[in-house]
Structure 1
Amino acid sequence: MPRVILCVLDSFGIGGAPDAADFGDEGANTLLHIATACAEGRGDIESLRSGPLYLPNLDGLGLGCAAHLSCGTLPPGLSDTPLGGRWGVGREVSIGKDTPSGHWEIAGVPVPFAWGYFPQTVPTFPEDLVDKIVAASGVPGILGNRHASGTQIIEAFGDESIATGKPICYTSVDSVFQIAAHEDHFGLERLYELCQTVFEFTAPMKIGRVIARPFVGEAPGAFKRTGNRRDFAIAPPEPTILDRISGEGGQVYAIGKVSDIYAGRGITHKIKAAGNMVLFDRTLEALEMAQDRALIFTNFVDFDTEFGHRRDPAGYAEALEAFDRRLPELIAAMAPDDLVIITADHGNDPTWRGTDHTREQVPILLFSPALSKGTIGLRQVLSDIGETIAHWLGLRPGPHGKSAL
């Protein structure tokens, strides 16, 4: 009864991408810089937590070895003597350092085109696009219209949005158009409808996603984004491992934002959840329900949205340790022929300049009671992960990548 549990620790990079300089990210290293800050007690780290980064379970599966291979440096607090499992390093070939690029490639489909992006100007969205949105949706205008952090721009424009009925529109260096509006005053379903309208205009521009960012609260300082985020995304251009599994009669449990990333394609069970620990709970519940040849696919988004983008190394460290503490629960729940894969889609170094993703290689940690320990080395394309899943579940090989087993 082989099954696969795929855990994507969103943004958990380990440095070393050979083309990082092309993205302005040469020297970025999410894991190394978090571990170093913890070991040295730098900045806010010392006041928020104490001691070196402690990840005994991830390290036991080869995290330290993967990090060492990726960048040539062993992060403080980690070791180069794994206890079990197989470990390696994943290198992305898709052009972007965004969520869809990393996830599509993990699922066996490298992105074959260049995404569209909005310029770093104020205003950032083309005037004709804004005019189309206003005319088609009936909103009285938009606020923001710039590159921004989601939490910061809601603080800046939230009260005006409530008063005027204008949604807050912003972007980042990713291929994305984000829309924030109040769940009650603007309306959640109305926000989703607006995002669908905007998606119809932006998809031909190869903008990867339009993201609904609902929030609650009545005044600055009390505004808070909710778990009702929804992504309207361009669908992958080829069948992914999700399509291949479900097409063969297998189950695909998409937990968190996974279904949105793949535009719902190949999903048999969609499970929405917010918060890393709730996502972990839903993963364990899916494992209890999953049948033969199932894929349980969870994106642990907090690493990225709560700590990477907000440049919070202490929070990132604590989130990693919280995930690590729960890893034995997952391993204990596995059947003898289950396989768990722990990886990431890109980096987001919380010590780096700016607020955006960083171009990094990622860890690939494999564990099964049926699998001997060892290394899978440096994988030249993240599609090797999808092909490893196909191999484990007995599916035919796909056109991109090669199984690591």
Structure 2
Amino acid sequence: MKFNRVFLIVLDSLGVGEASDALKYDDVGSNTLGHINDARNLFIPNLEKLGFLDTLKLSNKKDVDAYYTIASTNNPGKDTLNGHYEMMGIKITEPFKYFYKEGFPKELINEIERQTKRKVIGNVAASGTEIIQELGEQSIMEGSLIVYTSHDSVLQVAAHEKVIPVDMLYKYCEIIRRITTDNKWKVGRVIARPFVGRKKGEFKRTTGRRDFSLNPPYKSVLNYLQDHDLSVISIGKIYDIFNGQGITKKISSGTNKEGIDKILDIMDKKFTGLCFANLNDFDCLYGHRRDVNGYADAIEALDVEIPLMLNKLNPDDLLIITADHGNDPTFKGTDHTREYVPVIVYSSVFKEPKQLDKLPSLADVGATIAENFNVEKPAIGNSFLNKLK
């Protein structure tokens, strides 16, 4: 074992330029980090010192404190599930279904209504906080389920806690999860979204969210670590992405700030294994909403926290910062973008960190973690551990 603890942080959607197959996804010209930097001239001295901006051009800069490169994402979807699965060595052959353009098929809605015995309203791609204001009063009057989706492969179900108790909402979501295992409707996650409040403008989502995911199709690096009695600590939505498979400790977080605080807290704890965190504000608050300034502010806010992280790392710790896909806030539409993702690798013991060769797959990150802990090699990916000196 070269490193006792590995901290893997995913900056959700922070891509670094159109991928080689961007044309297939109609994403030619996308560049999340590049276009944000063009618009705002980012002030991120700490990330820059780690080679972060150099991932935009792979300039082989000498004066950096970390190894840096970019990786291809090869799974068929350009979303959270596809990116994280690939990162941990899982190749997806049967893509999940997405319904953000036209909503869910009438046949599926009819089946949900038949099995839950509840009317379904909504059936659009929407912001969860906005749709409960729009349809909350109707849902209360009718006892109906507000069903909506997003640009991820999800089916979300909102209901007022006083009308449909949370336990009942969970049962409905379990029913919907079973229905959507059918290939023609197979979504990655069904999400229960209870809310409270008296009227429009006052409705608020509660902390009773619950995700009903599919298990990964086979074992990932997370399972191999767990099988060898190593810690696998998840922060943010990592637990839900993998449906808890291979996770030994779940830590919930909402905002980027909460996630970073949880990471800093875990850095003070003794363990051997992986801490795997996702910072989701970049994607859900700024990428999809095409908010360039908000995205830029979030990157600069992360930069301020980087010295705190580095100061907490031990000589036998490894920090990897990457992303799962792109979501260029300057690009057309509101969808994710098919991009390369950055890979930053830091340890205080590195003698001469520099640019690494471009990684053919994001799975190389998981393969590197697996080799470090001497566990089984994942189904896809090749380790670059021997390049870290």
For normalisation by structure 1, the TM-score amounts to: 0.88
* CA apart distance, 1:81: 5.5
Amino acid paired to 2:215:
A
* CA apart distance, 1:222: 4.1
Question: Is the 1:252–1:268 Cα contact (8 Å) retained in structure 2?
Answer: yes
Question: Is the 1:23–1:359 Cα contact (8 Å) retained in structure 2?
Answer: yes
* CA apart distance, 1:349: 1.2
SS at match of 1:376: coil
Question: Is the 1:25–1:359 Cα contact (8 Å) retained in structure 2?
Answer: yes
* 1:94–1:182 CA distance, 2 compared to 1 (3 A): same
What's 2:305 paired with?
326
Could you tell me how far apart the structure 2 residues matched to 1:328 and 1:127 are? Answer: 52
Could you tell me how far apart the structure 2 residues matched to 1:376 and 1:300 are? Answer: 24
* 1:174–1:395 CA distance, 2 compared to 1 (3 A): same
Which residue of 283, 291, 295 maps to 2:263? 283
* CA apart distance, 1:224: 4.2
Amino acid paired to 1:102:
G
What's 2:383 paired with?
403
* 1:56–1:359 CA distance, 2 compared to 1 (3 A): same
Q: Deviations over 1:107-133 (max 9, x none)?
A: 111212222233733xx3233322322
Question: Is the 1:142–1:168 Cα contact (8 Å) retained in structure 2?
Answer: yes
Which residue of 136, 147, 159 maps to 2:115? 136
SS at match of 1:259: helix
The root-mean-square deviation of aligned C-alpha atoms, in Å, is 2.1
The within-5 A match list for 1:61-80 is 61-69=50-58, 80=61
Question: Is the 1:65–1:82 Cα contact (8 Å) retained in structure 2?
Answer: no
* CA apart distance, 1:188: 3.2
Question: Is the 2:255–2:281 Cα contact (8 Å) retained in structure 1?
Answer: yes
Could you tell me how far apart the structure 1 residues matched to 2:288 and 2:100 are? Answer: 19
* 1:185–1:340 CA distance, 2 compared to 1 (3 A): farther
What's 1:247 paired with?
227
Question: Is the 2:157–2:193 Cα contact (8 Å) retained in structure 1?
Answer: yes
* CA apart distance, 1:290: 4.0
Could you tell me how far apart the structure 1 residues matched to 2:193 and 2:229 are? Answer: 34
SS at match of 2:258: helix
* CA apart distance, 1:181: 2.8
Amino acid paired to 1:404:
F
Moved more, 216-225 or 280-289: 216-225
* 1:58–1:234 CA distance, 2 compared to 1 (3 A): same
SS at match of 1:195: helix
Which residue of 149, 154, 159 maps to 2:132? 154
- Percent identity reads 42
| Structure 1: gaps spanning 5 or more residues | 39-51
* 1:144–1:329 CA distance, 2 compared to 1 (3 A): same
Could you tell me how far apart the structure 2 residues matched to 1:217 and 1:307 are? Answer: 26
Q: Does 1:384 align with 2:364?
A: yes
What's 2:343 paired with?
364
What's 1:352 paired with?
331
What's 1:5 paired with?
7
* 1:84–1:96 CA distance, 2 compared to 1 (3 A): same
* CA apart distance, 1:35: 1.4
Could you tell me how far apart the structure 1 residues matched to 2:91 and 2:375 are? Answer: 19
* CA apart distance, 1:22: 1.5
Q: How many residue pairs are counted as aligned between the two chains? A: 380
Question: Is the 1:94–1:102 Cα contact (8 Å) retained in structure 2?
Answer: yes
Could you tell me how far apart the structure 2 residues matched to 1:59 and 1:2 are? Answer: 26
